């Protein structure tokens, strides 16, 4: 069973999940190179009995087959069957039961197709499944935050190749969410404005770091990017929570995401990356200071002692140079190619 422990010297909660070390691994080799693992893959069609019972699926494929499928993670970091209680183990040592949720969103029936090469309609199905699960988990008052993310490639920490997202819901507010929320609130209190809206306005005016300048979403490599080729997809409409995005606006994200992923794939040769949805913690959904967004973090360099010891990032590529490179990259052609960027 997993649990959380509190560090009074950093105010961080750490999740302990000894079961995770027993996960199967098949993710060696280049991220999307064809693998021989489909026959054994628990996420492939026909192998539905190898996963825990499904939570949600979209059955609009040929003959009513599923196109997107959500299941509990068999090697869950946090689980609804764990306890949810604080225990004092000493004057400074405190732990909390590993209550939470850990779900897998299987992106598509295909074992090997890269998300950025899927039709826009399929990316849209994935986003809608994430949105539905995000909001379902946010109903549970014992959960404080929902983190949705995708790992692509072994260097990005994925253990199974079949393309999937994960959703982890936590019983405490994770550090980064807490810190970013506090900074945005402070900025709002001082200026009456959202720091993300202001950053977006400034990036769009500068232009040199923008790779997709759509009406509803802007893809930009931020001025102070912590890693090479970090891409942030920012919605124009200011809204703290991903869960509150209306259907119609959500529907306009898929083509932008497809274009960004296609440019990263073409420009960097299928890099490993992590994709996360930054959003407000539970209870802050209606705060005027938050602004949800998508962050894509290619794993091109290895953080070392300086970064781990100081918390300060070293980035070896200026984002305006990286943006120039991605604007020139040509995403794979497809029947569903999105509008090209400026």
- The tokens describing 146, both together, are 């929902």
DSSP letters spanning 26-95: ---SSTTS--GGGGG-TTSTT-GGGSSPPSEEE--SGGG--SEEEEE-TT-SSBTTS---EEE-SSS-EE
Least distance CB 39 / a copy of itself (angstroms): 25
> Which sign, positive or negative, has the C-alpha torsion 202, 206, 211, 217?
positive
Site for a copy of itself in 211-270 (CB under 8 A): 222-226
CA dihedral 237, 240, 241, 247 (to 10 degrees): -20
The answer to whether residue 189 forms part of the interface with a copy of itself (CB under 8 A) is no
The answer to whether residue 322 forms part of the interface with a copy of itself (CB under 8 A) is no
Site for a copy of itself in 42-101 (CB under 8 A): 77, 89-93
The answer to whether residue 176 forms part of the interface with a copy of itself (CB under 8 A) is yes
- Pick from 43, 134, 196, 292: which binds a copy of itself (CB under 8 A)? 196
The answer to whether residue 317 forms part of the interface with a copy of itself (CB under 8 A) is yes
The answer to whether residue 157 forms part of the interface with a copy of itself (CB under 8 A) is yes
Least distance CB 240 / a copy of itself (angstroms): 14
The answer to whether residue 155 forms part of the interface with a copy of itself (CB under 8 A) is yes
- Pick from 314, 330, 332, 339: which binds a copy of itself (CB under 8 A)? 314
The answer to whether residue 185 forms part of the interface with a copy of itself (CB under 8 A) is no
Is residue 63 within 8 A of residue 57, CB to CB? The reply is: no
The answer to whether residue 308 forms part of the interface with a copy of itself (CB under 8 A) is yes
The answer to whether residue 37 forms part of the interface with a copy of itself (CB under 8 A) is no
The answer to whether residue 114 forms part of the interface with a copy of itself (CB under 8 A) is no
The torsion angles phi and psi of 274, rounded to 5 degrees, stand at -115, 140
The Cα 148–Cα 165 span in angstroms is 7
Least distance CB 14 / a copy of itself (angstroms): 5
The answer to whether residue 137 forms part of the interface with a copy of itself (CB under 8 A) is no
The torsion angles phi and psi of 260, rounded to 5 degrees, stand at -60, -50
Q: Which is nearer to a copy of itself, 18 or 53 (CB)?
A: 18
> Which sign, positive or negative, has the C-alpha torsion 167, 231, 154, 65?
positive
Least distance CB 218 / a copy of itself (angstroms): 15
- Pick from 60, 83, 121, 202: which binds a copy of itself (CB under 8 A)? 202
The answer to whether residue 326 forms part of the interface with a copy of itself (CB under 8 A) is no
Determine the Cα angle at 50 with ends 254 and 156, to 5°. 45
Q: Which is nearer to a copy of itself, 136 or 167 (CB)?
A: 167
Least distance CB 255 / a copy of itself (angstroms): 22
Work out the number of other CB atoms within 10 angstroms of the CB of residue 332. Answer: 11
The answer to whether residue 184 forms part of the interface with a copy of itself (CB under 8 A) is yes
Q: Which is nearer to a copy of itself, 281 or 338 (CB)?
A: 281
DSSP letters spanning 194-233: -HHHHHHHHHHHH-TTEEEE-SSEEEE--TT-SSTT-EEE
The answer to whether residue 20 forms part of the interface with a copy of itself (CB under 8 A) is yes
């Amino acid at each position: 069973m997993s649990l959380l422990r509190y560090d009074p010297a950093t105010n961080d909660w750490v999740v302990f999940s000894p079961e995770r070390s027993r996960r199967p691994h098949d993710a060696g080799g280049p991220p999307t190179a064809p693998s021989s693992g489909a026959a054994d893959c628990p996420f492939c069609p026909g192998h539905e009995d190898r996963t825990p019972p499904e939570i949600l699926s979209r059955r609009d494929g040929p003959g009513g087959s599923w196109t997107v499928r959500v299941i509990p993670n068999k090697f869950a970091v946090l689980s609804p069957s764990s306890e949810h209680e604080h225990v004092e183990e000493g004057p400074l040592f405190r732990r909390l039961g590993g209550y939470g949720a850990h779900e897998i969103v299987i992106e598509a029936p295909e074992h090997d197709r890269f998300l950025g090469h899927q039709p826009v309609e399929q990316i849209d199905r994935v986003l809608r499944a994430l949105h539905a699960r995000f909001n379902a988990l946010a109903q549970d008052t014992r959960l404080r935050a929902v983190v949705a993310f995708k790992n692509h490639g072994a260097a990005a920490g994925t253990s199974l190749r079949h393309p999937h997202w994960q959703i982890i819901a936590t019983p405490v507010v994770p550090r980064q969410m807490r810190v970013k929320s506090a900074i945005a609130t402070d900025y709002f209190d001082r200026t009456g404005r959202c720091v993300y809206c202001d950053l977006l306005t400034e990036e769009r005016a500068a232009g040199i770091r923008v790779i997709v300048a759509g009406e509803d979403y802007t893809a930009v490599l931020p001025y102070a990017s912590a890693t090479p080729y970090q891409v942030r997809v920012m919605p124009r409409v200011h809204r703290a929570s991903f869960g509150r995005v209306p259907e119609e606006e959500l529907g306009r994200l898929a083509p932008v995401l497809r274009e960004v992923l296609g440019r990263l794939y073409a420009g960097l040769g299928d890099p490993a990356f992590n994709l996360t949805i930054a959003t407000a913690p539970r209870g802050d959904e209606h705060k005027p200071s938050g602004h949800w967004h998508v962050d894509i973090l290619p794993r091109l360099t290895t953080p070392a002692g300086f970064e781990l010891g100081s918390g300060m990032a070293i980035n070896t590529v200026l984002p305006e140079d990286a943006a120039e490179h991605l604007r020139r990259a040509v995403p794979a052609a497809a029947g569903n190619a999105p509008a090209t960027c400026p």
